[in-house]
Amino acid sequence: MPKLKVDGIEVEVPQGATVMQACNAAGKEIPHFCYHERLSIAGNCRMCLVEVKPGPPKPQASCALPAAENQEVFTTTPMVKHAREGIMEFLLINHPLDCPICDQGGHCDLQDISLAYGKGHSRFAENKRAVTDKYMGPIVKTVMTRCIQCTRCVRFAEEVAGVEEIGAIGRGEEMQITSYLEHAVKSELSGNTVDLCPVGALTHKAYQFETRPWELRRVLTIDVSDAVGTNIRLDARGRQVLKSSPVINDDVNEEWATDKTRYMIDGLVRRRLDRPFVRRGGKLAAVSWDEAFDAVAQAARDAGGSVAAVAGDLVDCETMYAARELLAGMGSTMLEGRQTGMDYDTSSLAAVNFNTTIAGIERADAVLLVGTNLRWEAPLVNTRVRKAIKRGAKVFGIGPRVDLTYPVEWLGEDLSVFGNLPSHAADRFGAAERPAVIVGGAGLKGAHGAALAFAKRFNLVREGWNGFNVVHMAASRMGGLMLGYAARGGIGDLASARLTFFLGADEVDFTRFTGFKVYVGHHGDRGAAHADIVMPGATYAEKSGTWVNLEGRVQRGERAVFPPGDAREDWTIFRALSERLGRPLPFDSLPGLRERMTRDVPALGRLGLATFEWTPPALPATASGTVERYPIADFYLTNTICRASPTMQRCSAELLHGESFAEAAE
């Protein structure tokens, strides 16, 4: 570990660190545009100049200079100051002066750095260069005259997203960043390029000209579009969420977010349920809360103890716990969270958990994907597998061939491959130090026992390593399993219930349910269309809640805005309903509910990874069936919020179904 001095401050940095990283360790700010700690080093912008001794008496780019023993680095000398001012002059030669109308205004690196390190005036009197805007799809808006060619977007697309569709054409002053043939960028992570852009060349198309950053109220919460549990920040103005951005969490999402996470938020204000409804004469009619509660109370009396609850994919643990306790007071334990009909053994939660952890899968050296399109089911886990490949991992797959953005050796679509691996694959797993299997929804049904047998055969669970992983696709799934939302025979065991509560469950086959249906949710989607009573609830942005991600990590989010109209937070609906049924629940506030929930399920009261003991169930070791298709047919329309989002609808139409959209001339 080399020791060096930065402005007289002695620091010690890991071998291979750069001078810029050493300066940061010493608390010195180094201005930069092209450097990003999660991308390869380009050395394009030259803004990070410092003076280094021993060495030539000239400024040097600190991002590309390795830190060495006994170096002396100077960051504030007149030479460095003059050089940085010169670089800023060059960068601003062609940059347009349109800050007042630029969406990046107020949180722009170019603004901040030019103010802190620039001269404050320009000597350039010639005509500025102009570049035509490029089309990159329904997500990213381009104003390429602003581009400073830092190539962050190019490196992100190639290195992280694995979609080599953005690059540079031309040289010198004629260089331009563009998508190839100006086609839409087909990546589930394309919105991250906007965050990476240090100027206003790439901005959010769905967010353009909406607001300024200082007008917004910021709240930290958890994304519910998949089971990864991405940490996000919601920016709201008034009663509307206008922006969703990732928050850095190296254990979960690093600093990335999927396009669903970012852009489905415009569906939060569309097709909303904002008042209770009761079906009369075959049609839903708006009623008061009292009338709705009376109707549910009558249905509960008629049902006796034949009452069930089905949890949807976006529901928080507090809602599921309140519903569970309501049903317990009615003498029922009929709970299910696997609304699409999946049925697997949940006697050991470790056997249905992503045990390697999201960050830990990067260390795997042999990975077997079983019945999972990881690119759509968990895109930010997919990026971690890409990183594992860069470290030398080999990936095999069982299922239909699909582009996962990295090389996969497909072993076929028949799950029986589990018991008869090709010799070279068996040798690879036998010699691996950290082997892993990732089982998706299409593989879990027919190969759960075979996957556990595979884990035993190749010693996937060993000291300091558990390579058995299951990929869930619903944000509520692991929390629901911890709360007992798993009927022995799956959702089919609940179909005969005389009264069923659907907690935001819209993917259910409603034709199987012949009893009275009560839908508690936030969008007028499939669930509301089949319900006898609709009780408007709150989205993830409108309530504080607890969610457990696919690796068993307990996380909490806060409320950003209030629900519209007469809609209420879901747990309060069940609390009020319990009063009407004469069996009041023993809590009146969110802290009180959480205290009771934590008492019953202690793991939900401790933020961070829950601990599940590895006691796999005894299941048949043979796999049967063929993986004909993966569970997700349309990445952009997987839940009610997405289906209400114009941005997600356009992404689906254009990126997946090939529809074309005319762009207005500007």
Q: What is the pLDDT of residues 602-626, one digit of tens each?
A: 999 999 999 999 999 988 888 888 8
**Which amino acid is residue 332, in one-letter code?**
S
Q: How confident is the model at residue 171 (pLDDT cuts 50, 70, 90)?
A: confident
- Domain 355-470 is classified in which CATH homologous superfamily? Dimethylsulfoxide Reductase, domain 2 (3.40.228.10)
- CATH 3.10.20.740 residue ranges for the chain: 3-92
pLDDT for residue 662? 64
Q: Which 3 state secondary structure label does DSSP give 182? A: helix
**Which amino acid is residue 276, in one-letter code?**
P
Q: How many CA atoms lie within 13 A of 118 on its CB side?
A: 17
Report which of 357, 423, 361 is spatially closest to residue 395, judged by C-alpha positions: 361
R_g over Cα of the chain: 27
Strand-strand pairing, 283-286 and 277-280: antiparallel
Question: Which CATH fold topology does 3-92 show?
Answer: Ubiquitin-like (UB roll) (3.10.20)
- CATH 3.40.228.10 residue ranges for the chain: 355-470
Report which of 521, 597, 616 is spatially closest to residue 556, judged by C-alpha positions: 597
* Structural contact between residues 476 and 319, judged by C-beta atoms closer than 8 angstroms: no
Answer yes or no: CATH 3.40.50.740 is held by domain 277-340+476-609: yes
Helical H segments across 281-413, by residue range: 289-303, 317-329, 374-377, 379-390
Q: Is 21 exposed, middle or buried (0-12, 13-18, 19+ CB in 10 A)?
A: buried
Q: How confident is the model at residue 659 (pLDDT cuts 50, 70, 90)?
A: confident
- CATH 3.40.50.740 residue ranges for the chain: 277-340+476-609
* Structural contact between residues 630 and 440, judged by C-beta atoms closer than 8 angstroms: yes
Mean pLDDT of all residues in 337-345? 88
pLDDT for residue 98? 87
Please tell me the distance from the alpha carbon of residue 594 to that of residue 573, in angstroms, as a whole number: 16
Alpha carbon separation from 133 to 98, 110, 141, 150, 198 (Å, rounded): 15, 19, 9, 17, 17
In this predicted structure, the answer to whether residue 664 has a pLDDT above a threshold of 60 is: no
* pLDDT-above-90 percentage for the chain: 76
Q: Which 3 state secondary structure label does DSSP give 455? A: helix
Q: Which 3 state secondary structure label does DSSP give 496? A: coil
CB atoms near residue 283 (< 10 Å)? 8
**Which amino acid is residue 218, in one-letter code?**
R
Q: Which CATH architecture has domain 99-207?
A: 2-Layer Sandwich (3.30)
pLDDT for residue 174? 85
pLDDT for residue 663? 64
